[in-house]
Amino acid sequence: MPSRLRWAALVVLSRGIACGDGGAPLFRTDTRDLTITMFESPAPVSAGPANLSVFVQERKGLNPVLDADVSLRLRAVASGVEVLARLTRGQAPNKLLYGAPVMLTESGKWDMSVTVIRKGDRTEATGTMEVAPTSGKASSYRNYLAFPPLTITAFALREMLIRRRARG
């Protein structure tokens, strides 16, 4: 297999997940004038609060588009629950992206539709997103829950060292 093909296959298999601090790319769509890339954070996204971002570029030259009006519609396939959000650059950590925090109420497949309006032109991109079941609160805060046992272990070690030193 030629080397470039081999690497292209790897790209497809690895579902490229470069974090651009909008998170990991979910899908990319090329329209007539624009290239729209959707990001999710955290990756993979799970039920609960999530940050979704969109990177809008001119198709020619791939220059970032910073003056668009971007909105997002999410629809849970199973229950039909809908979430609407207006994405702005102010809400995205990467100011080249448009982002918004959203609340994903359930796990499973969600249909996504991004609408970009720029200079009166309306462009739409669609895709799907797989939302994992919510991770338990205990696992989200594991660092805080691990703090007491770790400190107790360090304290026990300290006491052991003191006693050993006292024994000479």
Site residues (vs other proteins, CB under 8 A): 3-4, 7-8, 10-11, 14-21, 24-25, 28, 35, 37, 42-43, 55, 57, 61-64, 66, 89, 93-96, 137-138, 141, 144-145, 147-148, 151-152, 155, 157-159, 161-163, 165
- Between 78 and 152, name the residue whose CB sits nearer to other proteins: 152
Q: Is 21 left (phi over 0), alpha (psi -120 to 50) or beta?
A: left
Query: What phi and psi values does residue 73 have, to the nearest 5 degrees?
Result: -125, 125
- Give the dihedral sign, CA 140/143/144/149: positive
- Between 20 and 108, name the residue whose CB sits nearer to other proteins: 20
Calpha distance 131→110 (Å, rounded): 7
Q: What is the nearest approach in angstroms of other proteins to the Cβ of residue 110?
A: 21
Q: What is the nearest approach in angstroms of other proteins to the Cβ of residue 152?
A: 7
Q: What is the nearest approach in angstroms of other proteins to the Cβ of residue 32?
A: 17
- Between 78 and 160, name the residue whose CB sits nearer to other proteins: 160
- Between 81 and 141, name the residue whose CB sits nearer to other proteins: 141
Q: What is the nearest approach in angstroms of other proteins to the Cβ of residue 1?
A: 12
Q: Are 123 and 33 within 8 A, CB to CB?
A: yes
DSSP codes of every residue in 92-117:
SSSTTSEEEEEEE-S-EEEEEEEEEE
